[in-house]
Structure 1
């Protein structure tokens, strides 16, 4: 038997952030479009995020982060990673002057923009940036939301933790223009409708998280719902049914469906 067909590819640790705000018509989430040359979810409307970088696990970064008490080293690194990714991809930084109270504002943030490229290219670690600028990350700004693992049969796999957060006051999210070619603040229902109309590409995990997010009408309600819902690890399992193959996810994970057809988004909407 060919071992390549029986041994799953390793799932790389990753983190994703759902940035939320209250719009005039209800809850909105910040989403980005990945460059068509990116090797995962190319051209799709997704939430910002990416893989864990070596520097996210270093003591230098952990020593300059608050809100990590009681967390495992891996859980702490994931929070540092998602804040770093939000900075690299969206120009937002959940950070304060070390020992300070409020998160940095737009003027201070502008002085840090020069770090985004070196961080993205691995030329600098987030801990080194924090040390040089005397900053600390505000990891308590994040709320655990979901945990998805790419199905075993896929050649490229990720073990992704999702977090909710409201952007720091007066900081404006924007896409980086490199890996990300577009960005939008959008109501979950509108993103789903655009995907149904063929105007957007949205992969199934993103769609399910939009459906779940759309059950809340405000940022406060979404954060409260996330705090009340235990995070259940979702590893979609390919199963045979009378209607054909389906991907099955755990009941109790907070989603409106537990089965859907591979390669197509679930039809149910919030």
Structure 2
């Protein structure tokens, strides 16, 4: 999705569907099968559940894709239901009315990022991966975007470097990591075995050098994409690629 240029943060950037937690995400009547991935919240079970519900709700609101399982999923994913939820209505009611549920075990976390401290607007963000449910296709329905496309990870990166698809560093890093796999099944297998750390790009005030920290513990992390991330930070700061 490409964020509209009027947005205060990430204007014109290509992003994945998503958004912030709201009170509806704490609704314990939302039907979930399986266990929400505890790595998203350092073991906080209640928060893991809320974050999963948020991811499903925001994906539904912004793309029309309902990440749920059950015989009536396609009816539950109707445009009318999407608009109801997008307007502040109950995701729980939509799911329960159609006797469908969120398949927690099929939606593992992929990454966890915290915005660098030099930014005026900061976020604590999780990225999930999931296989597109049968019979559903994403739609350009979000009021926060002015376009939506499917793109192969390697093609997205190529367009970014060509100046055709600006994106933030976490998005670019995720595409770089996903480009190493040949199919969705491989991605999901990798997602379930990954060590998840909240990543914080950090600039040392004394040396001006960038490093990658554990956002909560403030310790330097050993991460497979660390070199790529720091190269991206440097490229953005030098104006070689668009990003935040």
1:264 Cα offset (Å) = 0.7
Listed as ranges, the gaps of 5+ residues in structure 2 are: 39-44, 214-219
Distance 1:175 1:256 in 2: 33
1:241 Cα offset (Å) = 7.9
Q: Which structure's residues are more often helix, by fraction? A: 2
Distance 2:140 2:184 in 1: 22
| Higher relative contact order structure (alpha carbons within 8 Å, sequence separation ≥ 6) | 1
- What's the TM-score once normalised by structure 2's chain length? 0.81
Question: Could you tell me which residue of structure 2 aligns to residue 125 of structure 1?
Answer: 90
Question: How many positions carry a matched residue from both structures?
Answer: 225
Question: Could you tell me which residue of structure 2 aligns to residue 29 of structure 1?
Answer: none
Question: Could you tell me which residue of structure 2 aligns to residue 115 of structure 1?
Answer: 81
Do 2:37 and 2:104's aligned partners in 1 also have CA atoms closer than 8 Å? no
Do 1:52 and 1:77's aligned partners in 2 also have CA atoms closer than 8 Å? yes
1:262 Cα offset (Å) = 5.3
- What's the TM-score once normalised by structure 1's chain length? 0.74
Distance 1:265 1:92 in 2: 35
Distance 1:35 1:54 in 2: 25
Do 1:33 and 1:183's aligned partners in 2 also have CA atoms closer than 8 Å? yes
**Aligned counterpart in structure 1 of residue 224 of structure 2, from 244, 251, 254:** 254
Distance 1:135 1:151 in 2: 39
Question: Could you tell me which residue of structure 2 aligns to residue 199 of structure 1?
Answer: 164
Distance 2:145 2:79 in 1: 16
Q: Aligned pair in 2 of structure 1 residues 220, 136: CA closer, same or farther (>3 Å)?
A: closer
Shift >6 Å, 4+ stretches: none
Distance 1:36 1:70 in 2: 34
Question: SS of the counterpart of 1:42?
Answer: coil
Distance 2:206 2:174 in 1: 24
Distance 1:103 1:167 in 2: 16
1:190 partnered with 2:155 = yes
Do 1:65 and 1:138's aligned partners in 2 also have CA atoms closer than 8 Å? yes
Question: Could you tell me which residue of structure 1 aligns to residue 17 of structure 2?
Answer: 48
Do 1:46 and 1:202's aligned partners in 2 also have CA atoms closer than 8 Å? yes
Listed as ranges, the gaps of 5+ residues in structure 1 are: 1-31
Q: Which structure's residues are more often strand, by fraction? A: 1
RMSD: 2.6
**Aligned counterpart in structure 1 of residue 69 of structure 2, from 93, 96, 120:** 96
Q: Aligned pair in 2 of structure 1 residues 138, 69: CA closer, same or farther (>3 Å)?
A: closer
